[in-house]
Amino acid sequence: MACSSALFSHISFHTNPINSPKPNKPNRKIVTVAAIPPLSTAADVSTITAQFDGATIAVIGGSSLAALAAVLSVADPEKRRKLQAEEVGGGDKEVVREYFNGNGFQRWKKIYGDTDEVNKVQLDIRIGHAKTVENTMKMLTDEGSLQGVTVCDAGCGTGSLSIPLSKEGAFVFASDISAAMVAEAEKQAREELSTGKDELSPAPVMPKFVVKDLESLDGKYDTVVCLDVLIHYPQSKADAMIAHLASLAENRLILSFAPKTFYYDLLKRVGELFPGPSKATRAYLHAEADVERALQKVGWRIRKRGLITTQFYFAKLIEAVPS
C-alpha cells in the first residue's frame, strides 16, 4: 500500500470505518479492506501497477525519456478531460452526466450496493462513503427529530442518504443529473421503504425522485444536503453551486467534498497518471477555506465540521447555517 495510514490518522469524525455497516442497510456484509476518495485518485500500488500494460512497462524499461514523456502526456489528466468533453460535446457537466449514465453508473451502483463483486479499493470507498452518510444522519438528527422536515438530497446517487432520511420521517426531495442513478435510487427506495419499522408503524413516505442537475433545482427546503458531488467540479463552478444550494435552504446546508491539502493533492496527481478504465471523470479537490468563503459570500457560516477518511476515501463534511 503506497499510503501510510499515519497520514490518514487525523480523524475528527470517524470511529472505525472498517467495521461500520452501511446505515441504510443494517445487515450488509462488510469485509476488511483498503480504499480511495469519491472519484478515485488511486494510490494503492497494486492497483496502479495493474493498470500499466506490458507495452508501457517495456517503454519505461528502455529508459527512453521521449517515450516516457509521451506516456505521461497521454496520461495527462487535463488532456484526458478535454478529450472526454469533446467526445460528449460539452464541458464538465456533460462529461459527468454521460459518465454517471454509463460506466460510472455500473461502477458506483456496485460501490454503493452490497454485492461482493468489488475489489478492495471499491470496498474501502464503500466503507468511507457509508461513514459519510452515517455522520450526515447524525448531524441531522442531533438537532432533533426529522419527522416532517423537508430535505433536498441534491445529487442523490442511488439513494444512500434519501432512504435513511425517509425512514426517519423526513419529506425527501431527491434529484440527480443521471437518469440511471435516479431509477436505481427509486428501485431501492421501493424495496426498502415498503413497510414500517414494525407492524403498527405506517410505511415511510417515499422520497420524490427527479432527474435534474442541481443548478436547475428550485423551491425551499428546511435542509439541503449535497454529498460527494462537488468533487466533479472546479472551485469556480463549485462557488456558484454552493450559492445556489444555500439559496434553496432555510435552515441548514450540509456538504461533503474532497479536501485540498498538499498531501491529498499529491496523492491525486499520482492517481491521475494511472487512469483506470472506469475512473473516467476528473476529480477536483476543494480547499476548506474556499468553500467557507463561498458560503460567507452568501451570508452563511460553518457550524460543524468533520473529516472522514479511510485508506483511500477522504471527505470533509460541513454543516452550514445562515449567519
What single DSSP character describes residue 26? T
Is residue 176 involved in binding ligand SAM (CB under 6 A)? Answer: yes
Nearer to ligand SAM, 47 or 158 (CB): 158
Q: Is 93 in the site for ligand SAM (CB under 6 A)?
A: yes
17 contributes a contact to ligand SAM by CB under 6 A: no
Look-up of cell digits 476488511:
32
- Contact status, residue 11 vs residue 232, Cβ threshold 8 Å: no
Nearer to ligand SAM, 108 or 171 (CB): 108
Q: Least CB distance from residue 66 to ligand SAM, whole Å?
A: 38
Measured from the CB atom, the residue of 257 and 300 that comes closer to ligand SAM is 257
Query: What span, in angstroms and rounded, lies between the C-alpha atoms of 104 and 100?
Result: 4
Contact between 213 and ligand SAM per CB under 6 A: yes
282 lines the binding site for ligand SAM (CB under 6 A): no
Our finding on whether 272 is near ligand SAM (CB under 6 A) is no
- Cell numbers 440511471 correspond to 180
Phi and psi, residue 14, nearest 5°: -85, 160
b/e map 266-286, b = 16+ CB within 10 Å:
ebbeebbebbeebbbbbbbbb
Strand partners, 226: 255
**Which member of 155, 204, 207, 275 binds ligand SAM (CB under 6 A)?**
155
Shortest separation between residue 178's beta carbon and ligand SAM, angstroms: 4
Instruction: Give residue for cell 436547475.
Output: 216
H/E stretch holding 128 reads: helix 120-142
Of 40-48, 81-89, 150-158, 299-307, which part binds ligand SAM (CB under 6 A)? 150-158
Residue 256's DSSP bridge partners are 317
Q: Are 33 and 147 in contact (CB under 8 A)?
A: no
- Site residues (vs ligand SAM, CB under 6 A): 38, 93, 96, 100, 108, 112, 155-157, 160-161, 176-178, 181, 213-214, 227-229, 232
